[in-house]
Amino acid sequence: MINFFRKIRQRLLTENKFSKYILYALGEIALVVVGILIALQINNWNQIKKNNVEESKLLDRFQEEFSRTNANIVKIKSHYADITNSNRNLMNLIGKSSSQINASKVDSLLAVAINIENFLPSNYVLDDMVSTGKLELISSEKLRVLLYEWNQELGQKEDNYQMLYKYFMEELIPYLNKHASIKNIDFYTVNGFISEPSNLNHNSTDIFQDIVFENHLDNYFYTVSSFKESLSKLEDIATKILIESKNNK
C-alpha cells in the first residue's frame, strides 16, 4: 500500500503536475490524520469499556461492604438504645425512696448503661480505591460526594466516641469505683464472667441522693447521645451509597 502511494507521487512529479501533487499530498495527510483519529477513538472506546467493567466490579464490592456495614450499624444502634434506656431509668431514680430504688435492680441497670463499645466498620474497599487511584473510575459524581461524606462522618464519629470514652473512663468509672460495687454490676453483664455478686453488704441506693451522681449521668447521657447521632448519620449515608451504587450498575 505504501509503495502504491509512492508510485502515484512519483508519476505526478515526473509529469510536472505539481498542483495535483500538492492536492494529493494533502489528501494523503488527511487520510493519515483520519486513520490516527480512528485508531485513537477505537482505543478510547476500548478504555471506556474496560473502565466500565472495572467500575461495575467496584460497585459490586461497595454493595457487599456497605450492606454488611449497614447491618452492623443497625446492631450497634440497638445496643446504644439499650444503654440510653438504662441511663434514662437511672436518672429517673434520682431522689426517689430506697424502696423504689431497690425494686429497680440498679446494678443491672448500671451493667447495661456502662457497656459501651465503638463502631469500627470495614472500610477496605474505599481505602483501597483511594490508595490505588481507582476512585476516578466512579462515574457518578453523587456517589463520589457520598463517599467523601462517609469518610468525614467517620472522623466525626470517632471524635464523639473518644469524648464518650474519655468521660466514661476519667469521670464515671472512678465515681462508681468509690461509691458502687463494680462486682455487683459485673454480675449482670451479658458475658457473665462474674458468677456471684459481692459478699460485702453494699447498698447502692445512697448514690441516688447524690447530686454528683446525677451530674455524671447527665453528662454521660450527652456523650452517648452525640455518639448515637453519628451512628444515625453514618447509617443514612451508607443507605444512600447502597442506593446510588445500585442505580449506577
Residues 241/114, Cβ–Cβ less than 8 Å: no
Q: What digits encode the pLDDT tens for the residues 129-169?
A: 877 877 777 888 898 899 999 999 999 999 999 999 999 99
For the chain, the C-alpha Rg in angstroms (whole number) is: 34
The tens digit of pLDDT for each residue in 197-231 reads: 788 887 778 899 999 999 999 999 999 999 999 99
Return the percentage of the chain with pLDDT > 70, whole number. 76
The sign of the CA dihedral 103, 107, 108, 113 is positive
Per-residue pLDDT tens digits for 226-244: 999 999 999 999 999 999 8
Residue 92 sits at the vertex; the CA angle it makes with 170 and 199, to the nearest 5 degrees, is 60
The residue ranking higher by pLDDT, 162 or 48, is: 162
pTM value surpassing 0.75: yes
Tell me what the mean pLDDT of segment 10-15 comes to: 52
> What pLDDT, on the 0 to 100 scale, is given for residue 53?
74
Q: Is the dihedral of CA 190, 191, 195, 198 positive or negative?
A: negative
- Closest C-alpha among 109, 214, 210, 113 to residue 164: 113
What is the reported pLDDT for 113? 95
pLDDT of residue 46: 60
Q: How confident is the model at residue 247 (pLDDT cuts 50, 70, 90)?
A: confident
Of 54 and 75, which is predicted with more confidence?
75
CB 224 within 8 A of CB 80: yes
pLDDT at 49 over 70: no
Please choose, from the candidates 101, 57, 92, the residue with its C-alpha nearest in 3D space to the C-alpha of residue 217.
92
Per-residue pLDDT for 33 more than 80? Answer: no
Could you tell me what percent of the chain has a pLDDT over 90? 47
Q: Are 55 and 137 in contact (CB under 8 A)?
A: yes
User: CA–CA separation, 53 vs 62, rounded Å?
Assistant: 14
- Retrieve residue 114's grid coordinates: 456502662
